[in-house]
C-alpha cells in the first residue's frame, strides 16, 4: 500500500505581513532580514511557522528575533514526499532493456533565418499553411477574397488574426487574413469572450453570415486537439524537470542533491525506490544555468559569475545521475544560446562538458521515447499569455499550456516578451499530437490531461528571486512530475522541511 500524503506546503506563499503578524500575536518582534529569510524558506507554511514560533518563544527573552537566532532553528534536513492519486499498483520490476530515444524535430543545425522581411513572410506562410491544414479537416472553408465575389449568405473561412478591438457597442471586431484577402469578423454574444482572449497571431476558422463587408460570426473554431483517450502503457518512468539555475545563489542545492540521491535509489520508501529504478529518462525544459547578464543587476544574485563555470557545475551535477538514465537537455532563456525561439541546443563549447548520457536538443524539440511522443518547450510565451488573459495565473501554469494546445502554437503572440527567429518553416506550430507536452519557465508546478495529452509544467530548483518577489511570483520549487510506469502520474516533492 502506498501512503498518499497530502501536505500543505510553501505553495501557499506566506507574505511578510503574515509572518510579522504571527510573531506579533505572540509578543515577538522580528528583524526585517529574518522575515526575508523565512519568506524564502521552501517549507514554510502556517503549521511550520507556528511550530517555529513555539520554539522561539521558549528561548527568546524579549529580544528582537534576528536572522542569526533563526539560523539554527531552520537548518533542517531536506525531505521528500510522493503524492499520487492511486492507492497501490504492482508492476514488473525487471526492466533492464534500454528504451529507444529519437529526436524527431529540432532546429539545431537546421537554422537558415537571417531575420529579413522575406524570412518573416515565409515564416508566417508556413504557420498559416500548417494550421489551415489542421482546420480544413473540420471546416469547408472558402478563400476570403471569394466572399465579395460570390456573396454567399453563410460561409466558413480560415485566416490568421491580424487585429482585435472592442467596438463601441461592446462587440469585438477581429481582422482575419488569408493569402487572398482580409475581412472584418464581428463577434457578438458569447463569442465576445473568445474574441477578448485572442492573443494576436492565431490561425482560426470562422463560420458566419455575410452582412455587407463584415462576417458576423456564429462560430469561432480553434485548431485544438481531437479528443484522445489512449494513454501510452509502458513499464518505465520518465522524469520531468526544468529551471535548475545552476550558478544562482537561490539554487536549492540540498533539495536538488536529495533528488539525485533518489534517482540513485539511496533515499525514499520502498515505493519511491522502486519508482526510481523504473526511470529511463529525464527531460530538462531549460534554464539549466542562471546565465550571465540576463537581467540588470543579476551579478548580485550569482554564486558563480562566469557562464563556463556555471555549465561546469551543471555538468558535474549531471554526472551524479545514473548513466543508464538518458538526460534530454533543452535550453531556456537563461542558457547560453540565442534568445530567439526556436533556440538551438547548447553550443559544443558547453555541451561537451556534460557526460555522454546527456542528449542536447533545441527549444522546442520533439523527442520519441520508446513510442511516447514528448514535446519539450521552455515556456517563455507564458509570460505574454498570462499577462493577456486575466483568468490565467502563474500559480496554475497548465491552463497556459491548454491555451497553446488549443491554438496548436507554442508562441501565439508576436512582439511580446518572446523573441521570434523567423525560420522558413515554423517549428513552433504543434503540428502533431504529442503524448506529453513539457514546459517550465514560470517556476510553478502543474500537471493535467487535456484531451488525452499530458500537460506538465515542472517547477524549478531556485527559490524566489528578488525580481520574482517584486512581481509577486511565488515559485513552487522541488516539485517533480514522474510519468509512468503504466501511464500513471506521480508528483514528487523535494524540499527542506521541519
Q: Considering the complex, state which of residue 84 and residue 242 has its C-beta at the smaller distance from ligand D5M.
A: 242
| Separation of alpha carbons 385 and 397, rounded Å | 10
Q: Considering the complex, state which of residue 411 and residue 429 has its C-beta at the smaller distance from ligand D5M.
A: 411
The one segment of 57-65, 271-279, 420-428, 436-444 that binds Zn ion by CB under 5 A: 436-444
Q: Are the C-beta atoms of 290 and 334 separated by less than 8 Å?
A: yes
| In the complex, minimum distance from the CB of residue 190 to ligand D5M, in angstroms, rounded to a whole number | 31
- How many angstroms from the chain centroid is the CA of residue 24? 38
| In the complex, minimum distance from the CB of residue 365 to Zn ion, in angstroms, rounded to a whole number | 16
Q: Residue count at the site for Zn ion (CB under 5 A)?
A: 4
- 25: phi then psi, degrees, rounded to nearest 5: -55, -30
Q: Residue count at the site for Fe ion (CB under 5 A)?
A: 2
Q: Are the C-beta atoms of 430 and 409 separated by less than 8 Å?
A: yes
DSSP string, 116-170: -HHHHHHHHHHHHHHHHHHHHTT-----HHHHHHH--SEEEEEEEEEEEEE-TTS
| Separation of alpha carbons 301 and 298, rounded Å | 5
- 441 in contact with Zn ion (CB under 5 A): yes
Q: Considering the complex, state which of residue 22 and residue 378 has its C-beta at the smaller distance from Fe ion.
A: 378
In sequence order, what are the beta bridge partners of 174?
A: 164, 185
Q: Considering the complex, state which of residue 48 and residue 463 has its C-beta at the smaller distance from Fe ion.
A: 463
Q: Considering the complex, state which of residue 202 and residue 287 has its C-beta at the smaller distance from Fe ion.
A: 287
Cis peptide bond prior to 413, omega within 30° of 0 = no
Residues that bind ligand D5M (CB under 6 A): 243, 287, 295, 333-334, 383, 441-443, 467-468, 473
The entry of Zn ion, ligand D5M, Fe ion, none near residue 442 (CB within 5 to 8 angstroms by kind) is ligand D5M
The entry of ligand D5M, Fe ion, Zn ion, none near residue 383 (CB within 5 to 8 angstroms by kind) is ligand D5M
The entry of Zn ion, Fe ion, ligand D5M, none near residue 473 (CB within 5 to 8 angstroms by kind) is ligand D5M
- 333 in contact with Zn ion (CB under 5 A): yes
| In the complex, minimum distance from the CB of residue 298 to ligand D5M, in angstroms, rounded to a whole number | 9
The entry of ligand D5M, Fe ion, Zn ion, none near residue 295 (CB within 5 to 8 angstroms by kind) is ligand D5M
Q: Are the C-beta atoms of 483 and 436 separated by less than 8 Å?
A: yes
The entry of Fe ion, ligand D5M, Zn ion, none near residue 406 (CB within 5 to 8 angstroms by kind) is none
Question: Please, what's the largest Cα pairwise distance for the chain?
Answer: 88
- 243 in contact with Fe ion (CB under 5 A): yes
| In the complex, minimum distance from the CB of residue 248 to ligand D5M, in angstroms, rounded to a whole number | 9
- With the CA atoms of 306, 309, 311 and 317 taken in that order, what torsion angle do they form, in degrees rounded to the nearest 10? -140
| In the complex, minimum distance from the CB of residue 256 to Zn ion, in angstroms, rounded to a whole number | 17
Q: Considering the complex, state which of residue 208 and residue 475 has its C-beta at the smaller distance from Zn ion.
A: 475
- 211: phi then psi, degrees, rounded to nearest 5: -135, 105
Q: Considering the complex, state which of residue 243 and residue 341 has its C-beta at the smaller distance from Fe ion.
A: 243
Q: Considering the complex, state which of residue 128 and residue 382 has its C-beta at the smaller distance from Fe ion.
A: 382
| In the complex, minimum distance from the CB of residue 443 to Zn ion, in angstroms, rounded to a whole number | 8
The one segment of 118-126, 145-153, 329-337, 365-373 that binds Zn ion by CB under 5 A: 329-337
Quote the strand ranges of 336-385, DSSP E: 358-360, 365-369, 372-376
Beta-carbon contacts of residue 109 (< 8 Å; ≥ 6 apart): 344
Residue closest to Zn ion (Cβ)? 441
> Looking at 39, 156, 287, 425, which residue binds Fe ion (CB under 5 A)?
287
> Looking at 287, 335, 383, 435, which residue binds Zn ion (CB under 5 A)?
287
Residue 228 exposure: Cα atoms within 13 Å on the Cβ side:
16
Q: Are the C-beta atoms of 14 and 44 separated by less than 8 Å?
A: yes
| Separation of alpha carbons 496 and 498, rounded Å | 7
Please choose, from the candidates 377, 366, 370, the residue with its C-alpha nearest in 3D space to the C-alpha of residue 457: 377
- How many angstroms from the chain centroid is the CA of residue 189? 33
The entry of Fe ion, ligand D5M, Zn ion, none near residue 468 (CB within 5 to 8 angstroms by kind) is ligand D5M
- 268: phi then psi, degrees, rounded to nearest 5: 105, 160
Residue closest to ligand D5M (Cβ)? 442
Please choose, from the candidates 66, 39, 35, 70, the residue with its C-alpha nearest in 3D space to the C-alpha of residue 52: 70
- How many angstroms from the chain centroid is the CA of residue 448? 12
H-type helices in 60-109, by residue range? 67-74
State the CB neighbour count (10 A cutoff) for residue 216: 18
Q: Which x/- pattern, by CB under 5 A, does the window 63-82 give for Zn ion?
A: --------------------
- 332 in contact with Zn ion (CB under 5 A): yes
Q: Considering the complex, state which of residue 243 and residue 423 has its C-beta at the smaller distance from Fe ion.
A: 243
C-alpha cell recorded at residue 146 = 471569394
The one segment of 81-89, 231-239, 280-288, 293-301 that binds Fe ion by CB under 5 A: 280-288
The one segment of 71-79, 136-144, 396-404, 439-447 that binds Zn ion by CB under 5 A: 439-447
Q: Given the rule CB under 5 A, which residues bind Fe ion?
A: 243, 287
By CB under 5 A, name the binding residues for Zn ion.
287, 332-333, 441
Amino acid at each position: 500500500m502506498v501512503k498518499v500524503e497530502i501536505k500543505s506546503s510553501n505553495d501557499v506563499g506566506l507574505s511578510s505581513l503574515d509572518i510579522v503578524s504571527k510573531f506579533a500575536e505572540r509578543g515577538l518582534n522580528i528583524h526585517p532580514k529574518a522575515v526575508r529569510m523565512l519568506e524564502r524558506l521552501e517549507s514554510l507554511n502556517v503549521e511550520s511557522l507556528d511550530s517555529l514560533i513555539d520554539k522561539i518563544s521558549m528561548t527568546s527573552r524579549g529580544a528582537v528575533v534576528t536572522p542569526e537566532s533563526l539560523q539554527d532553528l531552520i537548518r533542517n534536513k531536506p525531505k521528500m514526499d510522493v503524492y499520487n492519486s492511486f492507492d497501490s499498483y504492482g508492476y514488473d520490476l525487471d526492466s533492464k532493456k534500454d528504451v529507444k530515444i529519437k529526436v524527431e524535430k529540432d532546429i539545431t543545425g537546421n537554422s537558415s533565418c537571417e531575420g529579413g522581411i522575406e524570412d518573416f513572410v515565409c515564416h508566417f506562410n508556413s504557420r498559416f499553411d500548417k494550421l489551415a491544414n489542421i482546420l480544413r479537416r473540420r471546416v469547408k472553408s472558402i478563400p476570403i477574397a471569394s466572399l465579395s465575389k460570390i456573396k454567399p449568405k453563410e460561409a466558413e473561412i480560415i485566416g490568421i488574426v491580424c487585429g482585435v478591438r472592442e467596438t463601441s457597442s461592446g462587440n469585438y471586431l477581429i481582422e482575419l487574413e488569408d493569402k487572398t484577402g482580409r475581412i472584418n469578423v464581428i463577434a457578438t454574444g458569447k463569442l465576445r469572450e473568445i474574441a477578448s482572449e485572442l492573443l494576436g497571431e492565431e490561425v482560426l476558422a470562422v463560420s458566419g453570415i455575410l452582412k455587407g463587408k463584415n462576417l458576423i460570426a456564429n462560430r469561432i473554431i480553434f485548431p485544438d486537439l481531437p479528443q484522445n483517450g489512449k494513454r501510452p502503457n509502458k513499464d518505465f518512468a520518465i522524469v520531468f524537470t526544468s529551471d535548475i539555475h545552476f550558478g544562482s545563489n537561490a539554487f536549492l542545492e540540498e533539495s536538488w542533491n536529495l533528488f539525485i540521491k533518489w534517482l540513485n535509489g539511496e533515499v525514499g520508501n520502498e515505493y519511491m525506490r522502486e519508482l526510481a529504478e523504473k526511470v529511463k529518462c529525464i527531460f530538462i525544459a531549460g534554464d539549466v544555468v542562471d546565465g550571465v547578464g540576463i537581467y540588470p543587476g543579476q551579478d548580485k544574485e550569482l554564486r558563480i559569475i562566469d557562464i563556463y563555470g556555471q555549465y561546469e557545475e551543471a555538468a558535474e551535477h549531471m554526472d551524479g545521475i545514473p548513466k543508464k538514465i538518458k538526460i534530454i537537455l533543452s535550453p531556456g532563456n537563461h542558457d547560453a544560446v540565442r534568445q530567439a525561439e526556436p533556440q538551438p541546443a547548447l553550443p559544443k563549447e558547453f555541451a561537451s562538458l556534460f557526460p555522454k548520457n546527456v542528449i542536447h536538443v533545441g527549444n522546442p524539440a520533439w523527442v520519441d521515447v520508446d513510442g511516447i511522443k514528448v514535446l519539450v518547450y521552455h515556456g517563455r510565451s507564458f509570460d505574454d499569455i498570462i499577462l493577456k488573459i486575466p483568468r490565467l495565473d502563474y500559480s496554475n501554469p497548465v491552463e497556459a499550456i491548454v491555451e497553446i494546445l488549443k491554438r496548436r502554437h507554442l508562441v501565439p503572440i508576436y512582439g511580446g516578451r518572446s523573441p521570434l527567429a523567423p525560420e522558413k518553416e515554423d517549428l513552433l506550430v504543434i503540428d502533431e499530437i504529442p503524448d506529453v507536452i513539457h514546459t517550465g519557465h514560470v517556476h510553478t508546478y502543474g500537471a493535467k490531461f487535456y484531451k488525452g495529452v499530458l500537460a506538465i509544467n515542472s517547477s524549478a530548483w531556485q527559490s524566489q528571486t528578488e525580481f520574482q518577489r517584486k512581481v509577486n511570483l511565488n515559485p513552487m520549487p522541488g516539485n517533480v512530475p514522474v510519468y509512468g510506469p503504466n501511464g500513471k502520474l506521480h508528483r514528487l516533492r523535494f524540499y527542506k522541511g521541519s
